[in-house]
Structure 1
Amino acid sequence: MNYIKGMDISSYQEMLDKGYEYFDEFGNTVDILDYAVEKGFNYARIRIWNSPSNIPESGGYCSLDETIKLAKRIKEIGIPYLLDFHYSDWWADPGNQNKPKDWEYLHGRELIDAVCEYTKDVLDTLADNDVSPSMVQVGNEIRCGMLWPDGSSEDFRTLAKLINAGIKGVRESKGGEAIQIMLHLDQGGRYHYYEKWFDAVMRNGVEDFDIIGLSYYPFWHGTYQDLDETLNKLEERYHKDLIIAEVAYAHKLGDDSLFGKGQERLGGLPASEDGQYEALKIISGIINGVNNNRGKGFFYWEPFMRADNSSSWGYCMGIVDSEGKPLKTLTMMNSSFPIGADEARNMYSKLRYSDDCSEPINGTNILLNSGFTNDLSNWNYNKSNNVNYKIEAIDDVEIFSFQSKGNVYFKLHQIVTIKETGDYSLVVEYKGDNTTGVCVKPYIELADYRREINIYPSDRIWTRGTLDISLEAGTQVDVGIEIDSPEIMGQIRNIGLYLRS
């Protein structure tokens, strides 16, 4: 297998339907797929949703009919493709693994058979159209399971049966023995999740797969060194080929909910054309350096998506600019990627990640036991059954540390009555995992309204969230932190409501 320089082009037809145009470096109009192959991309990735017509927001894209159409276009440009089964009518990711509407009431053997038959039928139809994929994903980012609630990762026995059903569907399809099978998780820089997950599914009978796929976004999934260590530990333990199934980096700042200053700080490189180029160079070299030649390449996620909304992926995460002109990552794809592992390690060793909690907090904290010195006294904590927590001293500071065993929602908060009118700041310091679906929100709630902000965390450095508000004496307020997330680990310290001086 040649080193894969892949592009997820699932939204290609949608972009054309919306009237977007693309250009080469000289300003000439081009078909972006032809141009991308000319510049060095050699593999495509496309997702398939069961019945997207059930979800109006999907626009009907990524159906089987749309998949056949796009697969034929891929055949015209002469490259192989990876077909990504979501087993859902719309997005499947760590925070969303919803059953298709047609399978909503299927359980047990009926659901297992449906997965197998659907997988086989799709692949047989593609074979009949002479556009079979070379590689198939059985599920998308399935660290937390698939086809919830049946296939939740809280029940690996059932999850393994559903995965094996998908694998069986691939193998029984026309030409299926030649198709490579990938199992794909998020959290590409966090080895402990992979070891736990693959040990569990393999212990429960999942064996017939060829590739471990990882999502790795540097602003979500750990440092470049974390990715490097994860890939090599996976190779040593499981002896499988490894592919970064999803990767991207911003070429400019967007909205804070997507890629703002916080994500830029965690990503280690500026949100710029050069920063994006450098990020992908590092990642390509890390993959290239996996032991025993097991690192097989990467897929850039939606490199040609376009959007005017600063909170949308296409606004800042693609490798064309807002006018459809190619950025350096695209024009240099053939000549710059992959670099060598030593060069990549030299590059990432020079990066520095800044802790934004060094500035002193001004004012008087009115919350009691804000540093957890008396365990959870004075705190309200609606503990979930799938969360374990402990108060532990780290560097002489008491920390609320937690780990969830699946999807989790909880609040840690106090209800207080304001004694003095003035300007206040809610301050929360947090450290922990990040991925698609993680919501960490410090909040202030009064009788008639609520204010909140998002923290975009890292598991390496502390991030401070601050909410400023004016409050009158006698007002009762509910203040704290709310977490709604797929399986994660996290730490909280120094929650305070400060009357500013």
Structure 2
Amino acid sequence: MSPLTRRTLIKSATVATAALAGGSALSAGQASAATFVKGADISWLPQMEAGGYTFRNSSGTQQDLFTILKGYGLGAVRLRTFVNPSNDPGNGHCSIAETAALAKRAKAAGMQVMIDYHFGDTWNSVGTQKPPAAWQNMSYSQMLDAMYDYVYHTMNVVKANGVSPAWVQIGNEINSGICGTTGSLAHHPDQMTGLLNAAHDMVKEVFSGAQVLIHLAQPQNYDSITAFLNAYRDHGGAWDVTAFSSYGSAGVAAGIVGNMNAARKTYGKPVMQVEFGGRYDRAAATEAALRAYITNLKSIGALGIFYWEPEVYTPFNTYNMGAWDPSTRRPTSAMDGFLNA
């Protein structure tokens, strides 16, 4: 499909989205009554396995990670993808070929899949939104064509692996926009919206049934959330679900989920928490926080929650908010937060 054809698609799709906004919100509201999704982002898994890391269940028996996660009631995984990543085990990999292969394993294990686009060669998050190096010096028009091509191609790679993602997240913690200044909220909210709508429409072109997520960090900072969502909505932005990252303790979960609920009501989209985590060496506190989030999210009809990289343990990475004990290679009690909640 040529860039010109994609430009035509996005214009028609954006008009249709605006015309059907009320119906879309109703459909999403009905979807929120479905089974609450419990999942995990396990994007580091292939690099861990390549390094000889293994996983034991709570009884100490070595098992495939997917089997262990399903034992805790998890039915979905979230998998990030970078554009042109390095081979660094912690900050690279996650090319679309690797991500699609992992998605294929997840499907074979009977789990749903979320694809998480970072739109960079490595991490993009609430404090950093750098475009891939190949896009760095592009004009907005060129970057728009690159976005069409990239998302259309990568979605077809996933499709070629026999996977139909339930959700596709376009951008990671994009409070400030995407792709540097070109798509920044502060400087070019119209271009930010154009780039994200291009991604949205190419996802829908390949997987019409996939739910497209807009992902924002720190919902405790509600002004930041509304600044983005107001600009995106007012410039014609299209999305199905508003997704959030939150790593707060049990004591603040109710207030943070309250802000998610306010966004749900204001913008007419269901909400989901796609990142949660807590200190592996403070497992009881992490378990309590996970239970608190699940309880509060269910109370507002949220779609689900994902633990961010629970399988990680040292010395693979210094990240200390996984849910595996490095000394035993067993899950900590933090994972019990998924049970009976």
Instruction: State whether structure 2 residue 4 is matched by structure 1 residue 4.
Output: no
**Cα displacement (A) at 1:223:** 2.9
Residues 101 and 161, structure 2, Cα contact 8 Å, conserved in 1: no
Question: What is the 5 A alignment of 1:348-363?
Answer: none
Q: Scaled by the length of structure 1, what TM-score is found?
A: 0.59
Q: Cα distance, 1:246 vs. partner?
A: 0.7
Partner Cα separation in structure 1 for residue 241 and residue 89 of structure 2? 32
1:282 and 2:289 correspond: no
Tell me the residue number matched to 1:129: 161
The residue number in structure 2 matching 1:194 is: 225
| Match for residue 312 of structure 1 among 315, 318, 323 | 318
**Aligned counterpart in structure 2 of residue 231 of structure 1, from 241, 245, 260:** 260
Give the Cα separation in 2 of the matches to 1:90 and 1:332: 31
Cα separation, partners in 2 of 1:189 and 1:116, compared to 1, 3 Å: same
**C-alpha separation in 2, matches of 1:102 and 1:41:** 37
**8 Å CA contact 1:191, 1:233 repeated in 2:** no
1:244 counterpart residue number: 273
Question: Alignment partner for residue 205 of structure 2, among 157, 169, 172?
Answer: 172
Q: Residue deviations 1:70-104, cap 9 Å, x none?
A: 01110111011100000100001022211111112
Match of 1:40 in 2: 73
User: Which residue is equivalent to 1:181?
Assistant: 212
Find the counterpart in structure 2 of residue 496 from structure 1: none
Question: Cα deviations across residues 381-428 of structure 1 (Å, max 9, x unaligned)?
Answer: xxxxxxxxxxxxxxxxxxxxxxxxxxxxxxxxxxxxxxxxxxxxxxxx
Q: Aligned partner of 2:141: which letter?
A: R
Aligned partners of 1:127, 1:308: CA distance in 2, in Å?
A: 35
Q: 1:16 to 1:4 in 2, by over 3 A?
A: same
Q: CA offset at residue 308 of structure 1?
A: 3.1
**Closer, same or farther in 2 for the Cα pair 1:196/1:73, shift >3 Å?**
same
Question: SS of the residue aligned with 1:277?
Answer: helix
Q: CA deviation digits over 1:304-344, x for unaligned, max 9?
A: 012238x821xx311111131121232463x322xxxxxxx
CA gap 1:117/1:298 in 2 versus in 1, 3 angstroms: same
Report the Cα offset of residue 39 of structure 1: 2.1
What SS does structure 1 have at the residue aligned with 2:330?
Answer: coil
> Quick one: structure 1 residues 27 and 226, their matched pair in 2 at CA, closer, same or farther if it must change by over 3 Å?
same
The amino acid that maps onto 1:156 is: P
Counterpart Cα distance in 2 of 1:186 and 1:39: 26
Match of 1:30 among 59, 63, 71: 63
Question: Hey, what does 1:367 align to over in structure 2?
Answer: none
Q: CA deviation at 1:57?
A: 6.5
Query: 1:428: which partner in 2?
Result: none
Looking at secondary structure, tell me which structure has more helix per residue.
Answer: 2
Question: Which amino acid is the alignment partner of residue 153 of structure 2?
Answer: D
Select the residue among 189, 192, 205 that pairs with 1:159: 192
Corresponding position of 1:212: 242
Within 2, Cα distance between the matches of 1:96 and 1:60? 16
Quick check: which has more Rg, 1 or 2?
1
Deviation at 1:300, TM superposition (A): 0.5
| Letter matched to residue 279 of structure 2 | A
Post-superposition shift, 1:67?
1.0
Q: In structure 1, how many angstroms separate the alpha carbons of the residues matched to 2:58 and 2:40? A: 19
The CA distance in 2 between the partners of 1:56 and 1:130, in whole Å, is 28
Residue among 172, 180, 184 paired with 1:148: 180
Q: Distance in 2 between matches of 1:109 and 1:196?
A: 25
Q: Looking at secondary structure, tell me which structure has more strand per residue.
A: 1
Residues 42-70 of structure 1, C-alpha deviation per residue, up to 9 Å, x if partnerless? Answer: 111000000103x7565751001111210
Aligned twin of 1:70: 102
Give the secondary structure class of the aligned counterpart of 1:168.
helix
Instruction: State the alpha-carbon separation in 1 of the partners of residues 107 and 89 from structure 2.
Output: 28
Residue 96 of structure 1 aligns with an amino acid whose one-letter code is T
Would the aligned equivalents of 1:123 and 1:132 in 2 still touch at CA under 8 Å?
no
CA–CA distance in structure 1, aligned partners of residues 325 and 57 of structure 2: 11
Matches of 2:100 and 2:264, distance apart in 1: 34
Please report the TM-score for the alignment, with normalisation by the length of structure 2: 0.85
Q: How far off is 1:132 after superposition?
A: 2.4
CA contact (8 A) 2:85 2:94 kept: yes
Cα pair 2:82 2:122 within 8 Å, conserved: yes
Change (3 A) 1:196 1:60: closer
Task: Report the equivalent of 1:380.
Answer: none
Mapped to 2, the partners of 1:48 and 1:200 lie a distance apart of: 26
Say which SS state the counterpart of residue 67 (structure 1) adopts. Answer: helix
Which amino acid in structure 2 is aligned with residue 288 of structure 1? K
Question: What's 1:321 paired with?
Answer: 325
Structure 2 gap ranges (5+):
1-33
State the superposition RMSD in angstroms: 1.8
Q: Deviations over 1:184-221 (max 9, x none)?
A: 01012222222221111111110x311000011116xx
Corresponding residue to 2:340 among 331, 336, 341: 336
- Moved runs in structure 1, 4+ residues, more than 3 A? 55-60
Distance in structure 1 (CA, Å) of the matches to 2:90 and 2:42: 15
1:299 alignment counterpart = 306
